[in-house]
Amino acid sequence: MLLCRRAIEPRLGYWTLPAGFMENGETTEQAALRETWEEARASLQAQELYMLFNLPHINQVYLFFRGELADLDFSAGEESLEVRLFSEDEIPWQELAFPTIGKTLKQYFIDRQDNHFPVRIRDILYRPQAASR
């Protein structure tokens, strides 16, 4: 699994999958390819939509694509401190930048057991905690 250590806030120094915001005029697939290149200087030869997260409390939708590296020529882009490949047992679970990253990785390793990767949709709903008395 290719992960990047963030060189920017929020969550500076934590690990993430290559990700970011879309630019005007690009498709979601183009955005995923661009972000992968910008953050990990990695090229993909194939990719497909894998996970979609609805985050209505912050008015965002996150799309994660599953891709195949074209080669092992990758390095940190300007938004990354380092980039490396991890096996499942090496992933720094306690150092992941965002809950969506952990949820995506855990689901991927479950799906990989059967080599079946359907598109999955998850809602992450914010529930404010009750005020302490």
What pLDDT does residue 127 have? Answer: 76
Classify residue 132: in a domain, yes or no. Answer: no
What DSSP element (H or E) covers 48?
strand 44-55
Q: Which residue range is the domain that position 9 belongs to? A: 2-123
What CATH number is given to the structural domain containing 100?
A: 3.90.79.10
Q: For 34-73, how does the pLDDT look when each residue is reduced to its tens digit (9 = 90+)?
A: 999 999 999 999 899 999 999 999 999 999 999 999 999 9
Q: Which of 73, 84, 78 is nearest to 17 (CA)?
A: 84
- The tally of domains found in the chain comes to 1
pLDDT digit string, tens, across residues 93-102: 999 999 999 9
- Position 70 in a domain: yes
Residue 74 lies in a domain: yes
Helix (H) or strand (E) holding 65: strand 60-69
Residue 130 belongs to some domain of the structure: no
- Residue 96 is assigned to a structural domain of this protein: yes
